[in-house]
Amino acid sequence: MMLFQAAGNIKERESSDVPVLRLQVSDQDTKGTDAWKAKYTIHRDKDHNFRIATDPETNEGVLFVGKPLDYEDGSLRNLSVSVENEMPYFSCKIKGCPVTGLWDVVTTWGTSLTGITPPPLPNRQVTVMVEDVNNPPLFTHAVKTMMEEENMKLGRYLEKFTAIDLDRSHASTFMLDWGFNPPFSQPPMTGTGTLNIHIKDQNDKLPELEMATMDMCLSDEPSKVNITAYDLDGEPYSGPFYFQPQGDDVKGKWRIDSDNGYTVNLEKENPVYADHYNLLLMVLDQQGQGALHNLSVTVCDCSGGQLQSRQGLWNQDWSEGLKEN
């Protein structure tokens, strides 16, 4: 078997599906047999940049790039390729030819009939030239992460990105932009840097009431109505909340059944009659930051299926009095 010397070239960053070159080999054995089929091996390829396959029709060795090459790492790649048959070298010697039965044959592997070891496997140097192309710029740190509080001032300095160009033979003038920038050119000439900004919450929102106007029925027993608060801030700057009625006029008349939670009950005591009341309620978040809210509460007489306040009952009595006169 004889292997011929060859050289090839490829562009840097070329796909591994592109063949670099074909190695021709000659073999005098019968075509298609295991003694004819070639098996190639690559040497001096420490970074495993190449792979080789055998063309079953021509017996040629087809050299491929195993992983994309970089021109800046070297414009020439020198390696060697050896070839052997799929069937190891052997010889046969007939020791006897009986009249009947099989002949007596001795097979010797790795040596010739004369006992001479065959020459080393055919080995040829292969030179691959890597062609330079314009590389895209690279960021020295492609991804950066930072923490910032919400409500930062406009124009505040955040972070610095540094871009470099590995090319030695192409211009390295950059144009910087931000946002989504897909590479339309092939190969792409765009480098991308990513800044992950984690926004920290501030306690900049005050607790609010879902409803500040409510009605309740006049009753001999203590009656109650729900009060629910919310806060646009997240943990730990929101609920559960603390509810504190304000003013001296609430003592003995109004109370909160539980001063802590998201929803509490405002309870009316017996001294409170049918009428309209304006109450003050302080609502505090977990950090003690709160807001004072006005509650508009109407106490109604619910007897007879009607809601009638004290003022409404007085107006009704006055109207009936006019009719009698």
Residue 223 belongs to domain with CATH number = 2.60.40.60
Rounded to whole angstroms, the Cα distance separating 241 from 35 reads 88
Do 69 and 51 form a contact (C-beta atoms < 8 A)? no
Q: What is the pLDDT of residues 210-259, one digit of tens each?
A: 999 999 988 877 788 999 999 999 889 999 999 999 988 888 899 998 88
Same domain membership, residue 147 and residue 100? no
Same domain membership, residue 230 and residue 192? no
> Does the predicted TM-score (pTM) go above 0.75?
no
Rounded to whole angstroms, the Cα distance separating 23 from 52 reads 10
Same domain membership, residue 196 and residue 278? no
Q: What is the pLDDT of residues 267-299, one digit of tens each?
A: 998 888 899 999 999 999 999 999 999 999 999
Segments forming the whole domain that contains residue 88: 2-131
Question: Could you say which DSSP state residue 80 is in?
Answer: E
Burial (CB count <10 Å: 0-12, 13-18, 19+), residue 214: middle
Please count the structural domains in the chain. 3
CA 306 to chain CA centroid, Å, is 61
Q: Are strands 290-300 and 25-26 parallel, antiparallel or unpaired?
A: unpaired
Rounded to whole angstroms, the Cα distance separating 187 from 312 reads 83
pLDDT tens string, the chain, 325 residues long: the values are 666 667 888 888 787 777 899 998 888 888 888 889 999 999 999 888 899 999 999 999 999 998 888 887 888 889 999 998 888 776 677 777 877 778 777 766 665 545 556 667 778 889 899 888 877 788 889 899 999 888 888 888 888 988 888 776 666 677 777 665 555 555 567 888 899 999 888 889 999 999 999 999 888 777 889 999 999 998 899 999 999 999 888 888 999 988 899 999 999 988 888 999 999 999 999 999 999 999 999 999 887 554 444 444 444 444 454 445 4
How many other C-beta atoms can be found within 10 angstroms of the C-beta atom of residue 147?
9
Instruction: Report if residue 223 sits inside a domain.
Output: yes
